[in-house]
Chains A and B, each alone.
Chain A
Amino acid sequence: MYYFDPHIHMVSRTTDDYETLAKMGCVGMSEPAFWAGFDRGSVDSFRDYFRQLTDFEPKRAAQYGIQHYTWLCINAKEAENVELSREVIKMIPEFLDKPNVLGIGEIGLNKNTKNESTIFLEHMELAIKYDQQILIHTPHLADKYQGTRMILDMLTADSRIDPSRVLVDHVEEHTAKEVLERGFWAGMTLYPVTKCTPQRAADIIEMCGAERLLVNSAGDWGPSKPTAVPDLILEMRRRGHSEALIRQVVYDNPIAFFSQSQNFKFTHPE
């Protein structure tokens, strides 16, 4: 089955991973800007990172027939540095016309602080000003519920935000329902220890339905598994779910969401 990984950090992966993903049916991916594992010191570090996301990675992916898209922002962890964040936000428009840029992301909260919230709101303003879609990171572990509620507060308080153009990622059992009920798209991240397993993701699909629900691997520099989406496909097959339902979650839904971005010119492989 072909699938689309809507959230995977390929800058952290080897070229071998591109090959493996292609062999497992991955035909498209989107890569949100995120934390590099250390705090960067200047706006030029981000400019180089955005060049990597908009120029280098699409070429690397294309060697294996994978269409690569991306999202730009300064992540929540580095948003504690408000001054640097504002410089990065000011620089982002230089890249918004690049052909693989889908919008602003992954913006969000990490420890649910005032500075993070301030920069989240300023990213929202940027997305509104340039009519961009938004991809959102929700915090992990004990911070997730509180942070998700804060994010939903900020989004729903602004009537200029169209929920159907916003993807709220890393939802789990206690946050998925509210995100979906408020009209947003929701992403489940399959990741060891801190996020969701394929089995629990299948449970959430069964409890919430497949509408506006996506699944991704994150595949970053941490102990992650870039081939986690095929693990979910296998789990759903083992439970007896239809191929049409599985395809909706791993292929049709991400393409439907991304199709709202003017730069999304995905070519179906079939």
Chain B
Amino acid sequence: MSIPLNSQEVLDREYLEIRGKILELAASLDRLERAEGCVNEDNRMDLIRQGLQILLQDPNESKASQIQMLFSRVFEDDWREQFNL
């Protein structure tokens, strides 16, 4: 099933919303840089940087799914053995 709107209609409808979200993101990153101290070594900053890269990648893969997986803990097939269940 596809979205009934064409891409031009989606862009017309969502352009300002996307612009606003990018602006919020930019302001959050500015806030981080203005604040005292340095969080560059914090693992979460690396995840944020990777997330931003995903937004500019291959349009054939779901960006939302990739972002979800980036921020997910790893699943290990042998978890039941680890838990002795």
On A, residues with C-beta under 8 Å from B are 112, 114, 117-118, 121, 141-146, 149-150, 153, 172-174, 200, 203, 205-207, 209-210, 238-241, 245
On B, residues with C-beta under 8 Å from A are 1-5, 13, 62, 64-65, 68-69, 71-75, 79-80, 83-85
Residues B75 and A205 in contact, CB atoms below 8 Å apart: no
Listed by A's residue number, 15 A-B pairs whose Cβ atoms lie within 8 Å are A114-B83, A114-B84, A117-B85, A142-B73, A144-B68, A146-B72, A150-B75, A173-B62, A173-B64, A174-B72, A200-B64, A209-B1, A210-B1, A239-B4, A241-B4
Given known A117-B85, A173-B65, A174-B65, contact A142–B71 (CB-CB < 8 A): yes
Distance between Cα atoms of A207 and B85 in the complex (Å): 35
Given known A114-B83, A121-B85, A200-B64, contact A141–B5 (CB-CB < 8 A): no
9 further A-B contacts with Cβ under 8 Å, apart from A117-B85, A239-B3, A241-B4, are: A114-B83, A141-B71, A145-B72, A146-B75, A173-B62, A173-B64, A173-B68, A174-B68, A203-B64
User: CB-nearest residue of chain B relative to A205?
Assistant: B1
Q: Please give, as numbers and ranges, the residues of chain A lying within 8 Å of B71 by CB-CB distance.
A: 141-142
Residues A206 and B2 in contact, CB atoms below 8 Å apart: yes
Name the distance in Å between B16's Cβ and chain A's nearest Cβ.
14
Residues A146 and B68 in contact, CB atoms below 8 Å apart: no
Residues B85 and A145 in contact, CB atoms below 8 Å apart: no
User: CB-nearest residue of chain A relative to B17?
Assistant: A199
Q: Please give, as numbers and ranges, the residues of chain A lying within 8 Å of B72 by CB-CB distance.
A: 142, 144-146, 174
Q: Please give, as numbers and ranges, the residues of chain B lying within 8 Å of A143 by CB-CB distance.
A: 73
Distance between Cα atoms of A143 and B62 in the complex (Å): 20
Distance between Cα atoms of A203 and B79 in the complex (Å): 32
User: CB-nearest residue of chain A relative to B47?
Assistant: A142
Interface centre among A149, A150, A174, A206 (most CB of B within 10 A): A174
Residues B85 and A149 in contact, CB atoms below 8 Å apart: no
Given known A149-B75, A240-B4, contact A207–B62 (CB-CB < 8 A): yes
Name the distance in Å between A156's Cβ and chain B's nearest Cβ.
12
Q: Please give, as numbers and ranges, the residues of chain B lying within 8 Å of A209 by CB-CB distance.
A: 1
Given known A200-B64, A240-B5, contact A118–B75 (CB-CB < 8 A): no
Distance between Cα atoms of A200 and B72 in the complex (Å): 18
- 5 A-B pairs with least C-beta separation: A240-B4, A174-B68, A145-B72, A114-B83, A173-B64
Distance between Cα atoms of A3 and B48 in the complex (Å): 38
Name the distance in Å between B78's Cβ and chain A's nearest Cβ.
10
Distance between Cα atoms of A141 and B62 in the complex (Å): 18
Distance between Cα atoms of A143 and B79 in the complex (Å): 14
Residues A153 and B64 in contact, CB atoms below 8 Å apart: no
Q: Please give, as numbers and ranges, the residues of chain B lying within 8 Å of A200 by CB-CB distance.
A: 64
